[in-house]
Amino acid sequence: MYTQSLTMNKAAMEKSTLFRVLRSRHICGLFERGFTRSATRLTKKDLYKDKKIPVFDYSKIHLENKRLYVFGAAFHGALGLRDLLKPKDHRQKLITRIHRPVRHKLFHDLNPQDITAGHGFSLVGVKRKDQNHPALFGCGLNETSQLGYQAARVGAPLERLISPVGISLPVRIDKPEILALAAGRGHSVISIKHEGLITWGDNSSGQCGRFVVEDEKYFGSHFAHKISSFGLREDNEVIEISSRFDITVCVTRSGKVIAFGDNQKGQLGRGRMTVNTWNTNDSLGGDIEGVRIVKVSTNGSSVLACSDNGELFGWGCNEMGHLDPSNISRIYYQPVFIKIPDKIGKVVDVAVGNSASFIINEHGDVYVWGQGHTLGLGPSNLHVKVPTLMPPPLFGRNDYNTDVKVTSIVAGFDHAAGINSVGDLFTWGLNSSGCLGLGKLEKQPFPLKVSLNSSVVKVALGVDHTVVLAKGGF
pLDDT in tens, 299-321: 999 999 999 999 999 999 998 88
Is 80 exceeded by the pLDDT of residue 13?
A: no
106 lies in some domain: yes
59 lies in some domain: no
55 lies in some domain: no
**Judgement on whether residues 345 and 394 belong to the same structural domain of the protein:** yes
Average pLDDT value over all residues in the chain: 87
**Judgement on whether residues 241 and 357 belong to the same structural domain of the protein:** yes
**Judgement on whether residues 21 and 162 belong to the same structural domain of the protein:** no
**Judgement on whether residues 157 and 41 belong to the same structural domain of the protein:** no
Is 50 exceeded by the pLDDT of residue 231?
A: yes
Position 373, amino acid = H
At 403-423, the pLDDT tens digits run: 999 999 999 999 999 999 999
407 lies in some domain: yes
Mean pLDDT of 150-167: 91
**Judgement on whether residues 35 and 92 belong to the same structural domain of the protein:** no
**Judgement on whether residues 322 and 221 belong to the same structural domain of the protein:** yes
**Judgement on whether residues 14 and 100 belong to the same structural domain of the protein:** no
**Judgement on whether residues 77 and 42 belong to the same structural domain of the protein:** no
416 lies in some domain: yes
Of 214 and 188, which is predicted with more confidence?
188
**Judgement on whether residues 23 and 123 belong to the same structural domain of the protein:** no
Q: Which domain holds residue 10?
A: 2-47
60 lies in some domain: no
- Confidence category of residue 276, pLDDT binned at 50, 70, 90: low
**Judgement on whether residues 41 and 145 belong to the same structural domain of the protein:** no
**Judgement on whether residues 36 and 91 belong to the same structural domain of the protein:** no
454 lies in some domain: yes
**Judgement on whether residues 167 and 304 belong to the same structural domain of the protein:** yes
Number of domains in the chain: 2
pLDDT of residue 280: 56
65 lies in some domain: no
